[in-house]
Amino acid sequence: MKIALDVMGGDYAPEVTVAGAVQAAREFNLAIALVGQEEVVRRELAKHDTAGLDLTVVHADQVVDMHDKPSEVVRSKPNSAMHVGMDLVRNGQADAFATIGNTGAAMAIALFKLGRIKLDGQRRIYRPALATPFPTRQGACLLLDVGANTDWRPVYLQQFAVMGAIYAENVMGLANPRVGLVSIGEEEGKGNEAVREAYNLIKATPGLNFVGNVEGKDLPAGLADVVVTDGFTGNVMIKLAEGVAKLIADTLRAEITSRKLATVGAALARPALRAVGARLDYAEYGGAVLLGLNHVCVIGHGRSNARAVRSTIRAARDAVAADVVGKIRQGLAQRPAMLDVGAEE
């Protein structure tokens, strides 16, 4: 398996992207194509022990930065690492593309290069959605969208519910996964007009185990296996959750170190505390899979450290190994009526 990595994307590239790629290649025994400005990439690689690792450098002389407008970058930077990396996937020279760069730009280029899943002339995915595991008491639920579509229509959320349910069933191994819609109240009829319309569309979709509205507090409780929302709301939710997790960890550390007896107790509880920290650390979850495309594309946090980059590459590996694209396409083909609900002209 080969993963194409955008080495130039992210707040701390290329240092953390190259370091994360080296970690992933060694730990997961993966072939990784490092896509970026060759001289820069090789200079970073020279800082690491790469003996025995399958790392290749693919030159791309342009860089998509965080300030580039997605609507312009598709054509204004055709030789960027995002373009070149996705070309490798489209042409069969790599199995998946991963980046921690500009999410909007990656989405726009992916639509252009990798294309959306289509069943026939009428049935198709309108917009891909970024899907990521979200920790719960039971383990994790699948939360989507977490940033790909900040402008949205109710039918997009209906399709997110369909793709999320197929993913949860076939990849996460959850039989008849419970699907919930994020709203400001659990009762039917809560939320703004668009959310209410999305509720009705999801409720009318055959084959979905729709459990209705879920509130923000319901996600950690594990009241749904698949949680659907728009990209704006989902992105705020995960970043708030990350901030709260860090606040709890920092507060615990400060309180423990300020008390001698608590320090002794913390030493005994260190394995459990580390396990909790790992479950709540975004760097362990890696990037989000862009569901609805013809190929695997994973997008991680722009501020990722090397460990988070390594986890983003792992997420790409797992999506390929689980045949995420094939399972979604197969699930839709078996239940095509799921795409007929709310179909646009």
Shared domain check, 276 and 135: yes
Residue 338 lies in a domain: no
Residue 341 lies in a domain: no
Shared domain check, 73 and 164: no
Shared domain check, 233 and 164: yes
Shared domain check, 51 and 102: yes
pLDDT value of residue 119: 80
For 250-281, write each residue's pLDDT tens digit.
787 777 777 766 666 666 556 655 655 555 55
- The parent domain of residue 199 ranges over 131-283
CA distance 141 to 132: 8
Cα distances (angstroms) measured from residue 321 to each of 10, 145, 326 = 25, 22, 11
Tell me if residue 182 falls in helix, strand or coil.
Answer: strand
CA distance 41 to 46: 9
pLDDT value of residue 208: 92
Mean per-residue pLDDT for 282-302? 85
Diameter of the chain measured on Cα atoms: 69
CA distance 149 to 22: 32
State the CB neighbour count (10 A cutoff) for residue 30.
22
State the CB neighbour count (10 A cutoff) for residue 65.
15
pLDDT value of residue 270: 61
CA distance 137 to 336: 33
- CB of 18 closer than 8 Å to CB of 34: yes
Q: How many domains does the chain have?
A: 2
Tell me if residue 129 falls in helix, strand or coil.
Answer: strand
Shared domain check, 262 and 316: no
**276-279 long-range contacts, CB within 8 A, separation 24+:** 277/249, 279/135
State the CB neighbour count (10 A cutoff) for residue 63.
21
CA distance 14 to 8: 6
pLDDT value of residue 345: 44
pLDDT value of residue 35: 97
Residue 319 lies in a domain: yes
At 296, which CATH number? 3.40.718.10
Shared domain check, 268 and 162: yes
Which residue reads 């791309």 in tokens?
60
Residue 171 lies in a domain: yes
pLDDT value of residue 162: 92
Nearest to 64 by CA among 9, 23, 118: 9
Residue 219 lies in a domain: yes
DSSP 62: B
Where among 232, 249, 283 does a domain terminate? 283
pLDDT > 90 fraction of the chain, expressed in percent and rounded: 58
Give counts: helices (H), strands (E), the chain. Answer: 14, 11
Shared domain check, 156 and 249: yes
